[in-house]
Amino acid sequence: MERSWKEDIIARLLIAFGVILLLGISPRSHRYMQAMQLALKAVEGESYSTAALHFSQAAAEQPWRKDLWEEAARHALAAGDPAAAVGHFQQAGKLGALPVDTLIDLSDAFRKADVPGNAMEMLETAASQGGKDNARLYDRLVQAHLEARDYPAAIEDLKTLVAIRPNDGPVHYQLGLLLAATLPRDAQAYLSRAAEIQPALAEPANTIRRSIDTAVLSDDPAYSYIYIGRTLASLEEWAMAGEAFRQATLIRPDYGEAWAFLGEARQHLAAEASEPQAALLDLQKGWTLDPRSVATNSFLALYWQRQGRYDMAMVYLQAAASIEPRNPVWQAEMGRSTAEDGDLLRAQSYYQKAIDLTPSDPTYWRLLAEFSLTYQSQVHEVALPAARQAVTLAPGDAASLDLLGLVFYHLEDYHSAERFLLRALKADPDFALAHLHLGMNYLFMGDAQSAHDELSLAQVLDPESPAGSQARRLLDHYFP
């Protein structure tokens, strides 16, 4: 069985002590032996900060011992003290060249200390010292180059990793993603291999492959990148989607929709989320280039909705609606923005216009009912008939049945609510939201055991969703 990191450290220390005893060599000082004994005890107890302290004390007693400085550094890093780790590694480096794995550890320390330039320098030094077959090194290089958005370098790193780990599906997939966003014709083989190695990757890999097959048929390379970028965005691969959109802007700087898509992608990247102005500049540039585009208007509207500026969002939603007057989406979005801005009567009229455009689509009846419930505005007069109509149009649709059940719950008709929520779960037994609503309904019906069972199911089925989180809170409150 493979030994743990802690076991390896203890074994090294015991060997060192054994050599000292076998050779009859006395330690330089009692302080050294005491520090080493305390370090070993701290390692056994997984007290890494204490271990780092005692290793550094032992190294101070025998400052020529490069290995002790390295142990102090590694334990400081494990303890979450990268600055101390850097100092100890640098002390070790003064005693001789650091091996590849130690350089990687030092890079980790620099990275955690928020000194990315030094981190990259250590990785490059490790690569130059013969780390070409070190998968750990290239894992770090990929991460560093991706964070720096040096995608050509990341591609080369991943190609090296593919050679080192030819049966690693995620590595093939990541390389396929990068190539899809930059050199799409070169991505297919890696995506195909990822799907073969790891079946869980087959669906997204094949989705991207099909997207590339379709995109390359276009005579407009910029549009090809937009098409592929949209597919990547649909898979929540926003960094690569953003790079595909950027490629489109490089090919055609006058392509307004490319700038709009790029501005949208920026808002999904953690590194740029704190700088919304960068996204806004791209969105505004796209709109300036093509003010009659649905994309440039809709993405600007979405941007302002996220900023809570619903008055600004309405300007661009109205423009989108004028371009596509028969599209109910814009009416519904104007209803949402107007409601958020506090004008409920006007918001209801927009939802009604969306319904008038597509009266046989249950989606917009549901949106009207959800609006009424959210703002507790005329629940009996608006939400109830709207939810009933949604069920009439889609009698087997779990979402519509759940919504009607929720309306009855708000109207305190708990038996009717139970009936429709059970129908929703018959249509989709794994529908976490319906389990949540049924659990809430049972709480008010006084059926504690059924409430507990339904809330537990909601939490287990989709723990990271709002439904799962709310179920967890209710469980904690009512069943501590």
Q: With respect to residue 275, please indicate whether it lies within any of the assigned structural domains.
A: yes
Token pair belonging to 252: 């055609």
Q: With respect to residue 22, please indicate whether it lies within any of the assigned structural domains.
A: no
Residues 244, 216 within the same domain:
yes
- How far is 341 from 210, CA to CA, in rounded Å? 42
Residues 438, 476 within the same domain:
yes
Residue 71 CB contacts under 8 Å (≥ 6 apart), including other chains: 9, 39, 51, 55
Closest Cα to residue 123, out of 114, 113, 131?
A: 131
Q: Are 256 and 282 in contact (CB under 8 A)?
A: no
- Which of 270, 301, 325 delimits the end of a domain? 325
Residue 240 CB contacts under 8 Å (≥ 6 apart), including other chains: 177, 178, 180, 181, 229, 232
Query: Structural domain tally of the chain?
Result: 3
In a 13 Å sphere around the CA of 198, the CA atoms on its Cβ side amount to 16
Residues 263, 227 within the same domain:
no
Residues 295, 308 within the same domain:
yes
What type of residue sits at position 153? A
- Which of 304, 325, 346 delimits the end of a domain? 325
* CATH number of the domain where residue 303 is located: 1.25.40.10
pLDDT tens, the chain, 480 aa long: 344 555 565 555 554 544 444 444 444 567 878 888 887 788 777 887 888 888 888 888 888 888 887 888 888 888 888 888 888 878 878 888 888 888 888 788 888 888 888 888 888 888 888 767 888 888 889 989 998 899 999 999 999 999 999 999 999 999 999 999 999 999 999 999 999 999 999 999 999 999 999 999 999 999 999 999 999 999 999 999 999 999 999 999 999 999 999 999 999 987 665 566 889 999 999 999 999 999 999 999 999 999 999 999 999 999 999 999 999 999 999 999 999 999 999 999 999 999 999 999 999 999 999 999 999 999 999 999 999 999 999 999 999 999 999 999 999 999 999 999 999 999 999 999 999 999 999 999 999 999 999 999 999 999 999 999 999 999 999 998
Per-residue H/E/C for 356-381:
HHCCCCHHHHHHHHHHHHHCCCCHHH
Domain that holds residue 316: 256-325
DSSP state of 392: H
- Which of 302, 325, 348 delimits the end of a domain? 325
* CATH number of the domain where residue 199 is located: 1.25.40
Closest Cα to residue 193, out of 214, 162, 230?
A: 162
Residues 282, 239 within the same domain:
no
pTM for the predicted model, two decimal places: 0.81
Residues 244, 273 within the same domain:
no
